[in-house]
């Protein structure tokens, strides 16, 4: 197993008086791809937001390469190599180029230019329409822009909230293909999903239920657990 890039232990968090996370923890190794599976309302978004510093941890600890970052603001985490793609992922009132510039806002200009050239080569549809408003793109193209925006700062770990949301199976396959390509260059992934198709990408899986991590292991181990298999792959699977 690779050395831990990101580690979360005993996280508690919530909204007002409502506690959503009850001691959740996980790890992502350098260059590893991890899928966080869980049903609606399990607390996946909440957990990701705490990892990014978008919500405070009420208890527990987050560390990056062994350094505690639990109370760091989000921008400091992003400068250190984390990137986040929410379910929405893009600013619809801004152009493609402006979205990418925001994604790479902490990079020195020359490095950002090189990175954008690389990204436009991977996403030719975006390159062809770089002045167009993100809101004018189809759902699938928006998702691609969301990924490109998150990658504009050349992160080491891309944290994604339900990238399959609103996508047709065809686009889900394309998103997985793109992520696989960047993962092959050393990008670590943490993907919160309900869509088990994303397990194709997973080197390790965590399940989140009721704000706690239940299972952690390989995809093969998940399949071997009858109860989990039924819960996530359906009775007939």
Could you write out the DSSP letters of every residue in 17-76?
TEEEEEEEEEEEETT-EEEEE--TTSSHHHHHHHHHTSS--SEEEEEETTEE-TT--HHH
CB atoms under 10 Å from CB of 168, counted, come to 12
For residue 49, which phi and psi values (nearest 5 degrees)?
-65, -35
Nearer to ligand ATP among residue 112 and residue 202 (C-beta) = 202
In the DSSP assignment, the letter for residue 88 is S
Find the shortest distance in angstroms from Cβ 113 to ligand ATP: 35
Interacting stretch for ligand ATP, rule CB under 6 A, among 1-9, 12-20, 104-112, 229-237?
12-20
Among all chains, which residue has been given the structure tokens 């893009």? Answer: 90
Nearer to ligand ATP among residue 43 and residue 89 (C-beta) = 43
Find the shortest distance in angstroms from Cβ 43 to ligand ATP: 4
Residue ranges in 37-76 that form contacts with ligand ATP under rule CB under 6 A: 38, 40-46
Among 5, 6, 20, 28, binds ligand ATP (CB under 6 A): 20
d(CA 230, CA 187): 31
d(CA 123, CA 146): 11
| β-bridge mates for residue 192, sequence order | 36, 161
Could you write out the DSSP letters of every residue in 191-217?
EEES-GGGGGG-SEEEEEETTEEEEEE
Find the shortest distance in angstroms from Cβ 136 to ligand ATP: 26
Find the shortest distance in angstroms from Cβ 36 to ligand ATP: 9
Is residue 107 near ligand ATP by the rule CB under 6 A? no
Find the shortest distance in angstroms from Cβ 104 to ligand ATP: 27
Judged by CB under 6 A, the number of residues near ligand ATP is 11
Nearer to ligand ATP among residue 48 and residue 96 (C-beta) = 48
Find the shortest distance in angstroms from Cβ 21 to ligand ATP: 8
In the DSSP assignment, the letter for residue 95 is B
Nearer to ligand ATP among residue 15 and residue 184 (C-beta) = 15
Nearer to ligand ATP among residue 115 and residue 142 (C-beta) = 142
Find the shortest distance in angstroms from Cβ 47 to ligand ATP: 7
Among 18, 170, 227, 235, binds ligand ATP (CB under 6 A): 18
Q: Which two tokens stand for residue 73?
A: 């603001």
CB atoms under 10 Å from CB of 90, counted, come to 28
Residues found near ligand ATP in the complex (CB under 6 A): 15, 18, 20, 38, 40-46
């Amino acid at each position: 197993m690779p050395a831990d890039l990101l580690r979360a232990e005993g996280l508690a968090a919530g909204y007002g008086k409502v506690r959503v996370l009850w001691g959740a923890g996980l790890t992502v190794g350098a260059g590893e791809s991890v899928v966080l599976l869980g049903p609606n309302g399990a607390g996946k978004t909440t957990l990701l937001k705490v990892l990014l510093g978008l919500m405070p941890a009420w208890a527990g600890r987050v560390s990056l390469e062994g350094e505690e970052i639990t109370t760091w603001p989000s921008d400091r985490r992003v400068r250190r190599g984390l990137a986040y793609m929410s379910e929405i992922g893009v600013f619809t009132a801004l152009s493609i180029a402006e979205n990418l510039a925001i994604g790479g806002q902490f990079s020195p200009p020359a490095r950002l230019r090189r990175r954008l050239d690389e990204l436009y080569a991977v996403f030719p549809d975006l390159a062809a329409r770089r002045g167009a408003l993100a809101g004018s793109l189809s759902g699938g193209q928006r998702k691609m822009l969301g990924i490109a925006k998150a990658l504009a700062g050349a992160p080491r770990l891309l944290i994604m909230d339900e990238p399959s949301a609103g996508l047709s199976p065809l686009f889900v396959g394309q998103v997985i293909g793109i992520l696989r390509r960047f993962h092959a260059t050393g990008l670590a992934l943490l993907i919160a999903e309900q869509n088990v198709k994303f397990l194709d990408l997973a080197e390790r899986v965590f399940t989140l239920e009721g704000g706690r991590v239940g299972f952690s292991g390989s995809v093969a181990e998940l399949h071997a657990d009858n109860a989990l298999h039924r819960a996530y792959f359906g009775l007939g699977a």
